[in-house]
Amino acid sequence: MDGAIGLFNHTSEGNSVHRLLERIPQAALLVGPEGQVLCCNRAARTVFGHDPIGTLPVPIGECIAQFPRQVDWTGTDGTAHSIQVEVESIEWQGNTLRMLTIPSPGADQPPALLDYNIAPGWTAIIDGLEEMVLVADEHFRIRHVNRAALEGFSCDAATLLNRPYYEIVHGSSSLPAYLSALGSGSGPQWVVEETEEPHLGRFFKIMVSRLETPPGHEPVLAIVIQDQTRKLQHEREAQRLNLALAKSFSGITRALSDLVEGRDPYTAGHSGSVAKLAARIGGEMRLAEDEIEGLRVCAILHDIGKASVPSSILNKPGRLSPYEWGMLKEHPSKAYEALRHIPFPWPVAEVVYQHHERLDGSGYPRGLKAEEIHLWARILAVSDVVDAMSNHRPYRPRLPLKVVLEEIRGGRGDRYDKRVVDAYLELLRREANRVMVVDDEPLMLDFVTEVLQLEGLEVAAFRDPIAALEAFEKAPYPLVVTDLKMPGMDGFELIKRARAVNPDTEVIVITGSGDKHGAVEALRLGARDFLEKPMEIKTLQNAVTEALSHYRGWG
């Protein structure tokens, strides 16, 4: 076995065995078939007073042929001791080796096995592991514990042995559900569970496996427990600090955006509205929470470069001259120069730099194309255009939703990212393109319905308020336009019950001429606006547009 000795000294496998032996607190030796010590740990060298590689001291060698026995031993200091030598068989590369473990003189003995049989070779390895290890029978009664477990649970072996594992670890009187996946048989089947245990104030990662047992022996379960309490605490603290940092960034960016928008009354609130819409599109596209937060910060700051543009240009009511338009087109570059020095945890400066770029290269300031444009910038492009077109500007009035949709759909895959456009359209379809109209007068009901349908809205008309409420409860509408005085259920009751189902629903009420008391009561119940009969088409359109814009987060 001289070659075997060399193999243990010069191979990766041998190095692994050395590292394992060093983790065993007792003196540990690995002995070959011919009685030579192949490798040992530092504790063994201390006990023997020299390096025993290649030899086997007597009377230790006498134990190889027998199972654990007491041996009279004289230590290096001349003191006589009676010690128990543990001998276990291990198969390694086709050879049967022996693992000898010898407690240091005067050291505490390892916890007993209660006469429970484990496959040879496992005992010393288990006792040397840094992880907490419990060995249990098929009923999950603890039959062996290592020193790490005793230290981890701050108790002696008697407190743990022969008690149900789940009682100790989970504080439970019944088997936890995750162990049902362990199955049966003697194969090495693993179950892994991460669990917080309030009764211990700890967070564990638990790995349970069946160990191989000699023929005729009962099943043995190994339960390896990693205490990850500190790791969890560090992760939670990191999350808290990241959240605090994100909130700090959000506050700063909001303040910077407000300073810029304060110079331009027509775009006041624009950045915040774009941020809300961009975040909702990002959510529809299943971006991660951190990505959505970064996208929101980019949106809030996307127009910060306009601080360098004269107010006379921002508020000019007519068409801009080529020179003025050139100055305005510089605002993404100015924003980039201002933001690139700030250590945001997201690519804020670059995304803001790109928010006016278009897939076909027709955007500015760099004429980027397709994948050269960051995904967040593509989301901002759609959000920015939608909000700008849906609100008044010095050079034009608000554009109808129909025109906005024509622009977005017309540029899908050309100027605007298909996925972003589709996500926005799905949001509209699902959340803010549906209006419920309730009025018992057929002429008024038809009038309101037709006007709103011309706006490109999906309208559900009801003469019966009770039927309307039933439909609303099944699928709440973002906007309800309702008369106040109706038989069966008046508009006041409809408002209360609808908003109880969905508090975010916007409500516009239709009142009789001069019914100020009814209008005030409806507003008190949460209605956004009231319209007196007879009403003009433009008045109805404006009221509905404002209500839907508020619901979408555009206003």
How does pLDDT run across 261-313, given as a tens digit for each residue?
A: 666 655 657 888 899 899 999 999 999 988 998 999 899 889 888 888 887 88
- Both tokens of 550, joined, read 């508020």
Q: State residue 555's pLDDT score.
A: 45
Share of the chain above pLDDT 90, in %: 25
pLDDT digits (tens, 9 = 90+) for 78-93: 666 566 677 777 767 6
Listed range (127-131, 320-324, 360-364) with the worst mean pLDDT: 127-131
123-227 shares its CATH topology with 244-429: no
The pLDDT mean for the chain works out to: 80
511 vs 470, residue with greater confidence: 470
Q: What is the CATH number of domain 2-109?
A: 3.30.450.20
Q: State residue 246's pLDDT score.
A: 65
pLDDT digits (tens, 9 = 90+) for 199-231: 888 888 888 887 766 666 677 788 888 888 888
Residue 103 pLDDT greater than 60, yes or no? yes
Q: State residue 505's pLDDT score.
A: 84
Residue 367 pLDDT greater than 90, yes or no? yes
Peptide bond into 503 cis (omega under 30): no
- Residues 204, 224 contacting (CB under 8 angstroms): no
pLDDT range class, residue 30, cuts 50, 70, 90: confident
Taking every pair of Cα atoms in the chain, the longest distance, rounded to a whole number of angstroms, is 114
- Both tokens of 4, joined, read 């075997």
CATH topology (fold) of 123-227: Beta-Lactamase (3.30.450)
Instruction: Assign domain 244-429 to its CATH superfamily.
Output: Hypothetical protein af1432 (1.10.3210.10)
Residue 376 pLDDT greater than 80, yes or no? yes
Q: Which ranges constitute the DSSP H helices of 285-414? A: 289-300, 311-314, 322-328, 331-339, 348-354, 375-389, 401-410
* DSSP secondary structure code for residue 228 in this structure: -
Cβ-proximal residues to 174 (8 Å cutoff; 6+ apart), any chain? 166
Domain coordinates in residue numbering, the chain: 2-109, 123-227, 244-429, 433-552
Nearest to 351 by CA among 369, 371, 338, 332: 332
pLDDT range class, residue 38, cuts 50, 70, 90: confident
Domain at 433-552: CATH architecture: 3-Layer(aba) Sandwich (3.40)
Q: What is the rounded CA–CA span in Å between residue 267 and residue 315?
A: 9
Q: State residue 1's pLDDT score.
A: 42
Q: State residue 33's pLDDT score.
A: 74
